[in-house]
Amino acid sequence: MASRRVAVSIVSVWNNEAVRLDCLDRSIEDQRAQAPDLEYLPVDNRGQRHTTAGAALNEGVRDATRDVVVFVQQDIYLHSLVALEEAAAVLMDDPGLGLVGAVGIGADGRIRGRIRDRLVLIGETDDEPMPVDSLDEVLFLARRSDLLEDPLSEDPVLAWHAYAVEWGQRRRGEGRAVVAIDIPMSHNSLSTNLARLDEAHAAVARMHPDLLPLQTTCGVIGATGRTQALRASGFLADHRWRLRWAKASLAARTAHRAAGGGSTVVLGDLRRDIDRIAEHAGDAPIRVHNVVAGDRPFPESPEGTRLRRASYDVVFTSGPLESGPVVDVAGSACIWTNVDVDQLAKLRVHVGSAPHVVGYHDDIGYWVLVGDAARHADEIWTEPQSRPARLLV
């Protein structure tokens, strides 16, 4: 990918000043010297002055003065403004590109673009732009001229969902590509809002029937306009969770053997479990190490990236397994994520006799919690489906 850079206008709609200041604002100020021509335009939406994201973001577009506008959510920590401006240059240099973002879903259902989703790294990384069906709204960028000529939808049904998905389909309908480009960022989401998501997806289906089925980060929009959710609900969900549980139990058996047979093994999505872990982690920050290959580093602050989550802090590092935190602070919690089976065996040596829990979830793979919080596994993972099938482990 070209190293040329183009200055951008960052537009962010916000309603929580504390979150915005700790995440997006701080990341911009920490790197301001690297991107002196960057323009930052936060749009205050406290009191719901704008009833849709499109209306608020379009206001930012009109105020912007740079050729490329980047839409970023308030709970994003940007790890590289240089990468952001390089992505803008790729967009400006290729008239065949209509929309660029940090993370999206390809036609095959795979996540393209690597980001940190709360605690774990997700998505595939590549040196070149990766074609996708759609992009997630967490971060996307477009030419200001395109946005002025054809603004984001302000339709109430797309108020806070799928507005980037829909705008991207307009570009695909013109024959221009929608792509994900590696723009390192942490999404420090504290909650998930799925209200009226199905209505938004149905609206996208009505607007762009020729582009269905359509992969999104929240499910597949089918030809009927219905969304095939990533996780089913109702009667089918009652049976599908059992199938997922059985498959996950097999993965847990593999983990149990790799970790030496003496480890507590649970089935859980660390991104949802972290708040309960924090209740037993003491006052020190929770340390999270994302395991990545040395040739694909994820940029961090020199002392680790520190983010505030509700009532506790998390300090993130990333790199090879061996570069993770030393387990030497009483009462602290250390977590390794993005771990494979071979690395579980190596971690066993690193962890030694410290209390620990090995976890697995089919969306994020293996992870390991080390420290006093691991002694409280029975209090943290209380649901029956969080325990592997006894006959398999």
In the block, tokens 């959510």 appear at 73
Q: Which of 361, 188, 182 lies closest to 288, judged by CA?
A: 188
| Between residues 259 and 101, the one the model is more confident about | 101
Same domain, 60 and 163: yes
Boundary of a domain, candidates 201, 228, 255: 228
Say which residues have a Cβ less than 8 Å from residue 375's Cβ, sequence separation at least 6: 280, 355
Mean pLDDT of the region 279-293 = 95
Q: What is the mean pLDDT of the chain?
A: 93
Boundary of a domain, candidates 184, 207, 228: 228
Same domain, 316 and 302: yes
Q: What is the pLDDT of residue 61?
A: 99
Same domain, 75 and 183: yes
The SS3 assignment for 181 reads coil
Helix, strand, coil distribution of the chain in percent, nearest 5: 35, 25, 40
Same domain, 60 and 167: yes
Number of domains in the chain: 2
Q: Is residue 2 part of a domain?
A: no
Residues in the chain, how many? 393
Same domain, 294 and 319: yes
Q: Which domain holds residue 298?
A: 234-386
Same domain, 224 and 270: no
Q: What is the pLDDT of residue 260?
A: 77
Q: Is the dihedral of CA 109, 102, 175, 161 positive or negative?
A: positive
In the block, tokens 């999404």 appear at 187
pLDDT (tens digit per residue) in 26-74: 999 999 999 999 999 999 999 999 999 999 999 999 999 999 999 999 9
Q: What is the pLDDT of residue 44?
A: 98
Same domain, 248 and 337: yes
Mean pLDDT of the region 172-191 = 97
Q: Which of 256, 253, 247 lies closest to 345, judged by CA?
A: 256
Say which residues have a Cβ less than 8 Å from residue 311's Cβ, sequence separation at least 6: 278
Local confidence band at 288 (pLDDT 50, 70, 90 cut-offs) = very high
Q: Is residue 192 part of a domain?
A: yes
Q: Is residue 254 part of a domain?
A: yes
Q: Is residue 392 part of a domain?
A: no
Same domain, 178 and 242: no
Q: Is residue 391 part of a domain?
A: no
CA distance 180 to 354: 40
pTM value is: 0.93
Same domain, 112 and 257: no
Strand 104-105 versus strand 134-135 pairing type: antiparallel
Same domain, 257 and 210: no
Q: Which of 216, 234, 107 lies closest to 161, judged by CA?
A: 216
Res. 246: pLDDT tops 80: yes
Q: Which of 180, 201, 177, 218 lies closest to 104, judged by CA?
A: 180
Q: Is residue 308 part of a domain?
A: yes
Res. 200: pLDDT tops 60: yes
State which amino acid sits at residue 239: H
Q: Is residue 57 part of a domain?
A: yes
Starting at the edge strand found earlier in the chain, the sheet holding 134-135 runs: 111-112, 104-105, 134-135
Q: Which of 310, 318, 317 lies closest to 278, judged by CA?
A: 310
Local confidence band at 92 (pLDDT 50, 70, 90 cut-offs) = very high
Q: What is the pLDDT of residue 225?
A: 73
In the block, tokens 């300090």 appear at 315
Weakest-pLDDT range from 111-125, 339-353, 362-376 = 339-353
Q: Are 230 and 317 in contact (CB under 8 A)?
A: no
Boundary of a domain, candidates 228, 259, 276: 228
Same domain, 201 and 75: yes
